[in-house]
C-alpha cells in the first residue's frame, strides 16, 4: 500500500512539474510576443495622431485618431515619398539580381574547380568581412567621388554608384554561404552529366541551379532587405532629394530642430515596411527551406 502511495506521489509531482513548465513557457512566449509587437503598435498609434506628438510623449490611444498623416505623406509636393519608395525598390532589386548572379557564378567556381590561389582567395574574402564596413566609409566616398569625375553616372548622387558599393559589400559573405550549399550537392551529379557529354555551363544551369533554389531565395531576400533598409551609405552617397532612398528620405522628417514631424515619419515607416512584408509572406516557405537544407550533407 505504501509503495502505491509512493508511486502516486511521484506521478503527482511529475504532473505538477509539467504544468509549471507549461505555464512558464506560456508566460515567456507571451512576454516575447508583447516585446515584439508593442513597438509596432506604438508606431501605428503615433501614425494615427494628427497632432504629430513626439514618441516620448505619445499616448498609446491618440485622441482624434485619423489618417491625416498618411494623406499628407502621399499627397505632399515637398516630400516625394512615392519617389523614395520607388528608388529603394529599384536600387534593392538591381543590387539583388546582380549580387545573386555574380555570387552564384563565383561560388560555383570555388566549389567545383581547383585552381591556383583558390584557398587564399577564399581566406581573403573571409578576412575582408571581419572588418566593420564603417571603417571604409571615407575611402568609399572618395573613391566614388573620383570615379564620378571620369564616369559621371557612377559618381556621387547616382543610384548606379550606390549599387556598385552595395555589390562590393554583399558578395563576400554570400559567396561563402553559396559555396557551402554547393559543397552539399554530390559531385556524382557533375560526373554523370560529363559522361553524357554535358558542358560545365549545362551542368550549372540545368542540374545545379534548380537544386540551389532555396539558398538563392534566402540570399536574394537578405540582400534585398539589407539594401532596402540601409541608411548610412545612402546618406553619404546621395545628395539630392529626388535621388534619396526611403530611409534617407524619412530622416528628413526627424532632422529638423524645431520641425520634427513624427506623425508623417511613423506613417512613412509603416508604408515603407509593406514591400518587405510582402516578400516575406510570398517566399516564407523558401526561406525556411534555404536555411535548413544547407546544414544537411547531401
What is the CA 104 to chain-centroid distance, rounded? 18
pLDDT at 7: 58
* Residue boundaries of the structural domains of the chain: 2-70, 79-293
Write down the number of H helices and E strands in the chain. Answer: 14, 0
pLDDT at 291: 54
DSSP type of residue 64: T
d(CA 139, CA 168): 13
pLDDT at 296: 43
- For the domain made up of 79-293, the CATH class stated in words is mainly alpha
In this structure, what C-alpha cell is assigned to residue 107?
A: 561560388
Q: What is the pLDDT along the chain (298 residues), one digit of tens a residue?
A: 555 565 566 667 777 778 888 889 999 999 999 888 888 888 888 888 876 655 555 666 677 778 888 988 888 878 899 999 999 999 999 999 999 999 999 999 998 888 888 888 888 888 887 777 778 888 899 999 999 999 999 999 999 999 999 988 777 788 888 888 888 888 888 888 888 888 888 989 888 888 888 888 888 988 999 899 999 999 999 999 999 999 999 998 887 655 678 888 889 999 999 998 888 888 777 666 655 554 444 3
Angle at 181 between CA 180 and CA 186, to 5 degrees: 105
Q: How far is CA 87 from CA 9, 55, 79, 234, 277, in A?
A: 67, 27, 14, 11, 18
Amino acid at each position: 500500500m505504501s509503495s502505491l502511495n509512493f508511486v502516486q506521489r511521484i506521478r503527482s509531482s511529475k504532473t505538477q512539474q509539467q504544468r509549471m513548465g507549461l505555464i512558464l513557457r506560456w508566460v515567456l512566449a507571451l512576454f516575447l510576443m508583447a516585446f515584439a509587437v508593442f513597438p509596432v503598435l506604438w508606431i501605428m498609434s503615433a501614425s494615427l495622431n494628427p497632432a504629430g506628438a513626439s514618441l516620448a510623449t505619445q499616448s498609446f490611444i491618440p485622441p482624434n485618431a485619423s489618417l491625416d498623416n498618411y494623406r499628407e505623406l502621399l499627397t505632399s509636393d515637398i516630400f516625394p515619398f512615392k519617389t523614395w519608395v520607388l528608388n529603394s525598390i529599384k536600387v534593392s532589386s538591381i543590387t539583388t539580381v546582380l549580387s545573386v548572379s555574380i555570387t552564384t557564378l563565383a561560388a560555383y567556381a570555388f566549389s567545383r574547380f581547383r585552381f591556383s590561389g583558390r584557398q587564399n582567395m577564399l581566406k581573403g574574402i573571409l578576412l575582408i568581412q571581419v572588418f566593420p564596413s564603417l571603417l571604409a566609409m571615407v575611402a568609399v566616398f572618395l573613391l566614388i567621388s573620383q570615379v564620378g569625375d571620369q564616369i559621371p553616372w557612377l559618381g556621387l548622387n547616382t543610384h548606379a554608384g550606390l549599387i556598385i558599393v552595395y555589390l562590393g559589400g554583399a558578395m563576400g559573405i554570400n559567396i561563402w554561404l553559396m559555396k557551402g550549399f554547393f559543397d552539399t550537392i554530390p559531385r556524382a551529379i557533375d560526373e554523370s552529366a560529363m559522361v553524357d557529354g554535358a558542358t560545365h555551363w549545362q551542368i550549372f544551369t540545368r542540374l545545379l541551379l534548380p537544386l540551389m533554389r532555396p539558398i538563392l531565395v534566402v540570399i536574394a531576400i537578405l540582400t534585398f532587405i539589407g539594401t532596402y533598409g540601409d541608411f548610412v551609405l545612402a546618406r553619404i552617397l546621395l545628395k539630392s532629394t529626388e535621388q534619396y532612398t526611403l530611409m534617407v528620405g524619412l530622416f528628413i522628417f526627424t532632422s529638423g530642430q524645431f520641425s520634427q514631424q513624427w506623425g508623417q515619419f511613423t506613417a512613412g515607416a509603416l508604408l515603407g515596411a509593406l514591400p518587405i512584408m510582402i516578400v516575406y509572406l510570398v517566399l516564407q516557405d523558401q526561406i525556411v527551406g534555404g536555411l535548413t537544407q544547407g546544414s544537411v550533407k547531401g
